[in-house]
Chains A and B, each alone.
Chain A
Amino acid sequence: MDEFENTASQPLLNTAADNARSLIIVLAIMSFLAALAILLSLSADRLGKNWQGELQRTATIQLLVSSPELAEAETQTALKSLRAALPEADISPLGTVKSRELLTPWLGNIELPEDLPLPVLISVTLDSGDTLSAPRIMTVLREEGLLAEIDDHSRWSDQIGKSARGLKAAALTILALIFGAGIAISAFATQAALSTQRDVIRVLVQVGAEDSFIAKLFIRQAGLRGLKGSFIGAVLGLLAAVILSLRNPKDTALLPDLNMNWTDSFYLVLLIIGITLICSAAAGFTTYRLLRRERRRS
C-alpha cells in the first residue's frame, strides 16, 4: 500500500477537455496589441513633451529698429536688458547671415540688396525648467523704448500637444476595446468550459461542494490562462517595440521615434495583471450565474 505515494491532488477540472491553447493565443494577440498601444502612447507622450518643452524654452525676438543707423545701438540695448531680465537664459543675436538664411524659404535664392533693412533677430533659450513668457519679454523691451515682435512658437507647441493628446486618446480607446474584448472572451470561454465540465460540476454539486468552491476552480483556471496569454503578448509587444526603436531614426521621420524607457515595462506589468484579473472576474461571474440558472431549472 505504501508504494502508492499520491501526495499531490489531481486537478478537478479536466484540463485536456477544452481548447485552452486557442484561448491563450487569442489573449496573447490582444495583449500584444495592447502592449504596443501602451508603448507607442507612452513614447509619443514623452516625445511630444520633449518637443513642446524645447519649443517653450525658446523664442525668437524680432527687433523693429527705428532706422538702419540705430540698429547696432538698439540691438545692444535689447541684449543688455534681456540679459539683465533673464540671467539664466542664453541670449544671442542671430546675425545678418542667419537672418538672410531664414528669409530664403519665402523669398527664394534671390540676391538681396546689401542695404535692405533686415529685421534684427535675437534668439532666447532658457536653460531648463522654466517656460518663456512672451508678455514679460515685451514689457522688458518696451521699457527701453524698443519695438519688437516675438514668436514663442506657441502655435507649434499647441499643435504638438494636441496631436500627442490625440495619440494618447486613441491608445486608451484601443486599450479599453481590448479589455472589453477580454471580458467577453473570458466569459465565453468559461461558458464553454462549464459545459464541457458539466459532468464534473454535477458530481461536485452532488457531493455538496459550495458554489464558491466550484467558482474558484474556474476563476483559477481562467486567471492562469489570462496570465499566460497576457505574459506572452506583453513580452512579444515589448520585443517588437524594442526592434522598432532600434531602427535608424531617419527611417522614422514621420512616425514618432520610439524612445523606450525601462519604466514603460511597469505599465506592461499592469497590463498583465489587468488581463489576468479580467479573465478571473469574468469566469467567476459566469460560473455563479450559470450555477444559479442551473439551480432554478431543477
Chain B
Amino acid sequence: MPIINPVSSPTVPPAPEAGAMVDVVRFERVGLRYGRGPEILTDVNMRLARGSFTFLTGSSGAGKSTLLKLCYLTLKQSRGLINLFESDISVMSRAEQQATKQRIGVVLQDFRLIDHLSVFENVALPLRVTGEKREAYRQDVMELLQWVGLGHVMEAMPQTLSGGEQQRAAIARAVISKPDLLIADEPTGNVDPVIGRRLLRLFSEMNRMGTTVLIATHDINLISEFSVDVMRIENGQLFSGLENGRVHG
C-alpha cells in the first residue's frame, strides 16, 4: 500500500539540483517483489528533477530493469509511493496512465519493434496512437531516421536490420514524440563505440531541450565520459555515486 502523507520526506537521497525544481519522478520507500519472491528493491527513495540526466548502474540482476519498469508504468510497486509528473500513479485512471505513458519514451533491451511494420511505421507509432495526421509527422520521422543513420532502411522490415540498426530504430521511436522523460535500458549494448557516442549525443541533445533522461547501463567507460548524475543499485537498495560503497544522502 502506498504511504500516506508523501510530501516532503526528510531523507530523499540523490536529489540532483535539489531546489525548487519540479520532480519528474519521485520514489518514496518503494519496495518491489515479483509474486511471492524476495524483495528485489527495498525502500528505494529517488528523485529525478526536470531536466536531469541520470545513469543507473549495478551488476547484472541487481534490479535496474525492474526499477525502470516502475518508472514507465509496466510494473506496480509492492509498497511505497511513486509520483510521475507530480501525480501519484496508484490513483491514476487507466486513461491518465496512458496519457502519462505518452510523455515517456522507452528504449528496452529487446527493442520491441513490431515485425510486420516497416522501420518508418515503427518509429511513427507513438505519434500515430495519439491520432496525429500522417502528413503532419511524415517529414519529422524521415528526418529523425536520417539523423540516426537509418535513412536508407526506412521501408525495411525490422528483422532485416542488424542488432545495432534495430536498436537505433527503437531509440528513434522513443524520442520521436519529444517525450518529457526518456528511459533507456542498455541503449548502447549492441552498437559500436562510434554509434554509441552518437546515440548518447542524441540523448544529451534531447536533455538540453528539456527532456529528463534516465539510462541504465553496465558501461562504466561510457558513464565516465559524461559528467552526469550516477545512481547504483546494490542489494536492492539505491545509492548515489559510482562505486566503493560511498553512499550519498
Contact = CB atoms under 8 A, between A and B. Distances in A.
A12 B118 CA distance: 11
A10 B146 contact: no
B176 to A, nearest CB: 10
Given A206-B74, A208-B98, A298-B75, A4 B142 contact: yes
Interface string B213-225: 0000000000000
Interface string A176-210: 00000000000000000000000110111111111
Nearest to A209: B129
Interface in B109-146: 112-118, 120-121, 124-126, 128-130, 134, 138, 142, 146
A172 to B, nearest CB: 40
Contacts of B101: 205-208
A200 B114 contact: yes
B1 interface: no
A293 B212 CA distance: 32
Contacts, number: 77
Contact of B116 (A16, A202, A205, A206): A16
Interface of A: 1, 4, 6-7, 9-10, 12, 14, 16-17, 199-200, 202-211, 213, 295, 298
B151 to A, nearest CB: 7
B99 interface: yes
Nearest to A213: B129
Contact of A298 (B74, B100, B126, B177): B74
Contacts of A14: 114-116
A210 B98 contact: yes
Nearest to A211: B94
B106 interface: yes
Contacts of A206: 72, 74, 101, 106, 112
Nearest to B122: A203
B194 interface: no
Given A203-B113, A208-B104, A295-B94, 6 more contacts: A1-B142, A206-B101, A208-B100, A211-B94, A298-B74, A298-B76
Nearest to A210: B98
B102 interface: yes
